[in-house]
Amino acid sequence: MSRLKKITEAASAIIGEVPFDSYTFIAIGPGRGGIEHLNNTTVSFDGNTLNDEVSVNRMMNFLAHEYFHHYNVKRIRPFELGPFDYEKGSRTNMLWLSEGLTVYYEYLIVKRAGLADEGTLLANLEKNINAHENNPGRFHQPAV
């Protein structure tokens, strides 16, 4: 079974429902970031960067993150984000929750997919917590 299939199955098992007939990962080449939709996601992807275990783990976390967004953000979302206003934009102060939970689940999904061990899961969470705690901006701007 492909790693991506393991990720989608592990993510779907968390919610217990798959709300589409098909889902597409659209790799658009080198860059940064992704954008989620109801039944697909567009992700920056550069196969040349997958040259070690850490890089592969980072990519699996990223793909799990973008996939899980079809649940957490596209279907479970702050009130202000649905329906999205493409003319004026939609503002919310709840992205800390939408993104924060998705980051938590990306690591858990990759672990449950059998693609990372517990040490890797905990190291990734530790890295995020340390990045937050060592960021002086947290004293000036709350997560909201």
Per CB under 5 A, residues contacting Zn ion are 99
Q: State in angstroms the smallest separation of the CB of 101 from Zn ion.
A: 10
Residues 63 and 65: their CA atoms lie apart, in Å, by: 5
Please say which residue, 4 or 95, places its beta carbon nearer to Zn ion.
95
Q: State in angstroms the smallest separation of the CB of 129 from Zn ion.
A: 17
Q: State in angstroms the smallest separation of the CB of 1 from Zn ion.
A: 25
Residues 42 and 7: their CA atoms lie apart, in Å, by: 16
Q: What is the dihedral of CA 74, 40, 62, 132, to 10 degrees?
A: -20
Q: What 3-state DSSP class applies to 120?
A: helix
Please say which residue, 9 or 99, places its beta carbon nearer to Zn ion.
99
Please say which residue, 10 or 71, places its beta carbon nearer to Zn ion.
71
Phi then psi for residue 81, to 5 deg, are -95, 5
